[in-house]
Copies of this chain bind each other. A is one copy, B any other.
Amino acid sequence: MNRPCINLAVAGFGTVGTGLAKAIRENAEWIGRRLGKTLRIHTVLVRDIHKNRSFIPDPDTAFTSDPETFLNTPDIDIVVELMGGTGLAHEIIARSLTMGRSVVTANKALLAEHGSELFALAARNHAGLYYEASVAGGIPIVQTLKESLAGNRIRNLLGILNGTANYILSEMTAKGLDFQDALAMAQAKGYAEADPTFDIQGIDAAHKLTLLIRLAHGQDYPFADLAVTGISQVQALDIALGGEFGYKLKLLAQVSHTSGKLLAGVFPAFIAKNHMLAKVEGPFNSILLEGNVVGPIMLYGQGAGDLPTGSAVLADIMALAKNPTTPNNTGFPEPVLPAADILDPMLSLSGHYFRFSVQDRPGVLSAIAGIMGNNAISIAQAVQKQTDDPAKGVSIVFLTHKALLRDVKKAMTEIDACDFIMAPTVHYRIV
């Protein structure tokens, strides 16, 4: 069948680019039937055109290492940016949009840090800027927030958005591993990169959360203002102790909408083992939303990988190929979204888990409990554990009723200043 052809210019041909090209070839006939058009990878921008590649999209695909040649290729319908980073990728996206070309990208870091400028540029040039692949791989969360839940106020969004961190915590939980061993395992399996900083420090999840906040609330929450805690300090002991109380530790990204303000952050937290998100193991991602009309909705799938991410890129390409003239980039018609009305994360209210390392002597428990009480923190459960080494003292674990994070931090500072404290107190929220 002779179908009109959509010419793609793809910047970057690593894991995701190759996954996309494979999907386009594998499902060519199917895509043609769905779209009434054929997708063709016309030009690819790579660092080294002489590199041996295991997969070539098409015999007549042009490979170039020159960004100018790439940008000036005529007859391109959609530019696909899969290089990552905020340097050349930024320039390629901005210049493509300025030319009126629609762009599909998986670049969460760029959109988290420069989204406001790029979406305004897209709006001025009536171009699409689509990014389903930038959050939670193949899970259609961007589309769901832009379209399916458009009539909802999203009261609460809770996500497991980083597969590497989730894999590490899952392995620590299942096997009692230390963080470093679980990280090494994730690296050996290809789930973690050589430099895992973005994943384990929560930065990658925070980039994604910034995009989700924009989609769910139509507000620009500056990435730099997000409260972010990673998982590199997590100890196997706390995972085990939390487990005894019926909880699992997960790296969560959360934004809730209360009294017209946004409360957001990325942090490791305990969730009940029978919570749907607690079942999300290994490299999987999931997002649980609470809409004021729809109620709870959960989406689940692979958060990374060549094909899952390629699937999301492909969905964006097909959406723009089908409807090139009226793109819906942010989910809001305004060219520039207002700045977020931010609630201090210290005002977040939740249960809390504490592990105090204390000297084994009378009066300690009552001193800690006293400080908690003075800070309006009510204790729900407590347990005292011997440590292996008597010189390390004993562990006292407290689980509290709901309390303000601000009060918790204040209490911790007071408690950690006491002479019976032998190591800094460990604290996690219970969500």
On A, residues with C-beta under 8 Å from B are 19, 23-24, 26-27, 30-31, 33-36, 132, 138-140, 143-144, 147-153, 218, 276, 279, 291-302, 305, 307-308, 310-312, 314-315, 317-319, 322-323, 326, 328, 331-334
- Asked if A293 meets B132 with Cβ closer than 8 Å, knowing A140-B144, A144-B140, A332-B33, the reply is no
Determine which of B132, B151, B276, B308 lies in contact with A34 in the assembled complex, contact meaning CB atoms within 8 Å.
B151
B297 near A151: Cβ-Cβ < 8 Å: no
**A149-B315, A293-B308, A294-B307 given; 16 more Cβ-contact pairs under 8 Å:** A27-B293, A31-B151, A33-B334, A34-B151, A34-B331, A34-B333, A35-B150, A35-B333, A138-B293, A140-B144, A140-B147, A143-B147, A147-B319, A149-B311, A293-B310, A297-B300
Measured between alpha carbons, how far is A328 from B34 in the docked complex, in Å?
11
Complex CA gap A311/B295 in Å reads 9
A296 nearest in chain B by CB position: B301
Q: How far is the CA of A36 from the CA of B233 in the complex (A)?
A: 47
Contacts of A317 in B (CB 8 A): 151
* CB nearest to A334 among chain B residues: B33
Quick one: given A34-B332, A149-B140, A319-B147, are A298 and B297 in contact (CB under 8 Å)?
Answer: no
Contacts of A151 in B (CB 8 A): 23-24, 27, 30-31, 34, 311, 314-315, 317-318
Cα of A323 to Cα of B150 in the assembled complex, Å: 14
Out of B298, B311, B312, B315, which one reaches A301, CB within 8 Å?
A: B298
Complex: chain B residue closest to A31, CB-CB:
B151
Instruction: Check A322 against B315 for contact (C-beta < 8 Å).
Output: no
Q: Are A153 and B34 in contact (CB under 8 A)?
A: no
Interchain CB contact under 8 A, B276 and A152? no
Q: Which B residues touch A34, using CB under 8 A? A: 150-151, 218, 331-333
Copies in the complex: 2
Give complex CA distance A392, B334 in Å: 72
Given A300-B276, A301-B297, A301-B298, the answer on whether A292 and B27 have CB atoms closer than 8 Å is: yes
Bound-state CA distance A310–B292 (Å) is 11
| Residues in B neighbouring A311, C-beta threshold 8 A | 149, 151-152, 291, 293-294
Chain B residues with CB below 8 A from A294, complex form: 138, 301-302, 307-308, 311-312
Given A27-B293, A311-B149, A322-B328, A299 and B299 contact (CB-CB distance below 8 Å): yes
Tell me the nearest residue of chain B to A143, going by C-beta: B148
Complex Cα distance, B33 from A331, in Å, reads: 10
> With A and B bound together, what is the CA distance between A317 and B293 in angstroms?
15
Q: Which residues of B contact A295 (CB under 8 A)?
A: 138, 301-302, 305, 307-308
Can you report 21 A-B residue pairs in the complex whose CB atoms are below 8 A from each other? A23-B293, A26-B293, A30-B151, A34-B150, A34-B218, A35-B333, A138-B293, A140-B148, A144-B148, A147-B147, A147-B315, A148-B315, A151-B314, A152-B311, A276-B279, A294-B311, A295-B301, A295-B308, A299-B300, A322-B326, A323-B323
Contacts of A148 in B (CB 8 A): 132, 140, 143-144, 312, 315
